[in-house]
Amino acid sequence: MSEDRKQRQRAEHHADDPREGPLTTDQGVVVDHTDDALSAGERGPTLMEDFHFREKLTHFDHERIPERVVHARGAGAYGYFEPYASCGAFTRAAFLQDPSVRTPVFVRFSTVQGPRGSADTVRDVRGFATKFYTSEGNFDLVGNNMPVFFIQDGIKFPDFVHALKPEPHNEIPTGASAHDTLWDFVSLQPETLHMMMWLMSDRAIPRSYRMMQGFGVHTFRFVNARGESTFVKFHWKPKLGVHSLVWDEAQECQGRDPDFNRRDLWQSIEAGEYAEYELGVQLVPEWDEFAFDFDLLDPTKIIPEEQVPVQPLGRLVLDRNPENFFAETEQVAFHLGNVVPGIDFTNDPLLQARLFSYLDTQLIRLGGPNFSQLPVNRPVAPVRTNQRDGYHQSAIHSGTSYSPNSLGGGCPVIGGAGGGDGGVFRHHAEHIDGAKIRRRSSSFQDHYSQATLFWNSMSDWEKEHIVQAFRFELGKVGSVSIRERTVQELSNVDEGLAGSVAEGIGVARPEQPAVQHHKLCSPALSQESLRGDGSIRTRQIAVLVTAGVDAVQVREMREALSERGAVVEALAPHDGTVSGSDGQEHPVDRALPTVASVLYDAVLLPGGGPANARELAGDDAVIRFVRDAYRHGKAIGALGSGVGALATLEPRGLHIAGDGAGTVSDRGVVTDTADGLASVDFVHAFVEAVAAHRHRGRPRLLC
């Protein structure tokens, strides 16, 4: 389909331009007054014959549709996918063949537990769902930012979600997993342990959707033109690297900016800083299905990248924000059953359940079977079906609605009827033979090895954060027996982990674990291995300015950082302007009382006159801002008198290295006492510090 035709098709389903004429009713009748209902006299009763009043309220009363049971809170964007080269050796999927062909996509990111009104930065799994509008139909890759899931069989999904959701008697907590029912469930289901390790890691509090991995979770199949099948696992890798918040700032973000992640995605795209990811795959030939010490069909397991490397296939770029949140992000309907020729399913029992559940969910959310006609869901491939009628039918069909037929000339004909392939989807002919039973395979029974693998693969700071997360979550659990049972399960992952958690939540160290621990690790699982391209693009940098600031120095630093793609904002104790050392008034982007360090990636204290130094050192908001940036491991830069202001925090434990001569950089704190323009060395060191994202091992602040 040509781009012009796509644009015309899209335009046909847009609302009329409100600038082209006066207000009307739904029937097109022009309205001259919409502030008062029709009444019998100025103080008389409202008249029900007022059709505009009745239509307006009726439509408002029915504006809401059921929100998603899980993944209710989301943010989305449009973009495109392009392969690096033909993948024809292992799949016939058309969108993976030609590097010159861009496939349009819509991606929705989401949290799992909370409702639409919950915050972005809660500890939770994040959804990463991609709709490819391919020439052969829509392909939906519906995944998460973690490569495994809590359960092995979909029949347990209602139990898991009921346990994860807020407590039934008081609907608390919102958007959080730290409560009794969830931990009661997981402590009784050892298969959840691997996923719980991921959930307690920093992967559960991503810095940005643009800095978050995505995974297809399940093992799927690629099928090539010869009908040969290859097992495949899908990976999304962000160009900017994988970065997270720390738990303390994640919690503060929930109050300071509950829309932190969706705002970040929206503003970056609006600024032309498009989110970019690489699609990679792990490929396993059919004959190697049983070559591992785990089952490929088990969704609680990964294939370590050291065993099967991830092969890059192409890139995804998100470059356009939706025009209307409800019409697009809220009404987009994903379904794992939306596949194209060349991609097929496996017998993963969780995947099989999702093939039923996703379609069933859309039927009730979107009011019937015609949701695929909504613009955000409509394929760009031609659609010719015998489906008819139903709620919200927008197509005007003609001709016959059954097959076979002669009255309609036999149309639509069956694909491939004239010989050749004809773009037909054919399910992979897998041989299946077995008795009807309710029993899980013994190959699904190892619930601890990969949880231990994950723990062993973490750096020291990641392990520390995991222990802190378990302590926080279990500290919210009222039942002592659930705490004890969970710690006993953790001992089957690692005795040191279990002991540290037990100490923090006030229960006895666990008994001897039933499982022998191994020392295997996978470096690819640690965020230390996923730092990205080393740029500072879209990093948010705060410059703290007060009266007497060296405005020329600020301007030069802003330009230097902006040229490298950073977003730089001048913050002051008040809005408006500040008087620079040059006597001029200089604009302030935001007032300190309206923001916080947790909303930025780095902070710079510029130099200036004595007034600037005094105000920086004496302002409580400035001190708190710098203190929080320091203890959260963020880059801090100081120039001239700004170094003196920074030094006032030294008695509190902040450490400034060196004697102040020239540029000094120590664990992300970059200083230069020279007045005037920043040196090339300072700019370079500060940029490097920002690019590193976090700086671990700083001396702790005393307060």
Give the catalytic positions in this structure.
Answer: 71, 144
**Nearest alpha-carbon partner for 471 in 497, 498, 501:** 501
Phi-psi region of 69 (alpha: psi -120 to 50; beta: other; left: phi over 0): alpha
Task: Indicate the DSSP class of residue 211.
Answer: G
Judged by DSSP in three states, 641 sits in: helix
Backbone angles phi, psi at 435, to 5 degrees: -85, 155
**Amino acid occupying residue 395:** A
According to DSSP, the residues that pair with 587 across neighbouring strands are 577
Judged by DSSP in three states, 104 sits in: strand
Q: How far apart are CA 589 and CA 278, in angstroms?
A: 35
Which ranges in 388-459 belong to alpha helices (H)? Answer: 449-457
Distances (CA, A) of 430 to 81, 228, 324, 345, 426: 30, 11, 43, 10, 12
Cβ(541)–Cβ(601) under 8 Å? yes
Written as six digits, the tokens of 128 are 């990463």
- At CB < 8 A and 24+ separation, what contacts does 514-519 make? 515/448, 517/452, 517/493, 518/449, 518/452, 518/453, 518/456, 519/456
**Amino acid occupying residue 562:** S
Please list, in sequence order, all residues whose beta carbon lies within 8 angstroms of the beta carbon of residue 95, skipping any fewer than 6 positions away.
81, 83, 101, 103, 132, 134, 135, 136, 139, 340
Q: How far apart are CA 196 and CA 599, in angstroms?
A: 27
Q: How far apart are CA 161 and CA 612, in angstroms?
A: 54
Q: Give the sign of the dihedral formed by CA 490, CA 493, CA 498, CA 500.
A: negative
Backbone angles phi, psi at 364, to 5 degrees: -85, -35
Radius of gyration over every alpha carbon of the chain, rounded to an integer in angstroms:
29
Name the strands in the sheet holding 590-591, side by side, starting at the edge strand that comes first in the sequence. Answer: 590-591, 567-572, 540-544, 602-605, 635-639, 669-672, 664-666
Cβ(139)–Cβ(339) under 8 Å? yes
According to DSSP, the residues that pair with 604 across neighbouring strands are 543, 637
Q: How far apart are CA 381 and CA 121, in angstroms?
A: 37
Please list, in sequence order, all residues whose beta carbon lies within 8 angstroms of the beta carbon of residue 210, skipping any fewer than 6 positions away.
238, 240, 264, 265, 268, 275, 276, 538
**Nearest alpha-carbon partner for 104 in 3, 27, 245:** 3
Q: How far apart are CA 241 and CA 245, in angstroms?
A: 13
Cβ(614)–Cβ(583) under 8 Å? no
**Amino acid occupying residue 280:** G
Please list, in sequence order, all residues whose beta carbon lies within 8 angstroms of the beta carbon of residue 154, skipping any fewer than 6 positions away.
349, 350, 351, 352, 353, 354, 356, 357
Distances (CA, A) of 575 to 539, 592, 700: 23, 8, 32
Q: How far apart are CA 238 and CA 130, in angstroms?
A: 14
Task: Indicate the DSSP class of residue 597.
Answer: G
Q: Counting beta carbons within 10 angstroms of the beta carbon of residue 327, is it exposed (0 to 12), middle (13 to 18) or buried (19 or more)?
A: middle
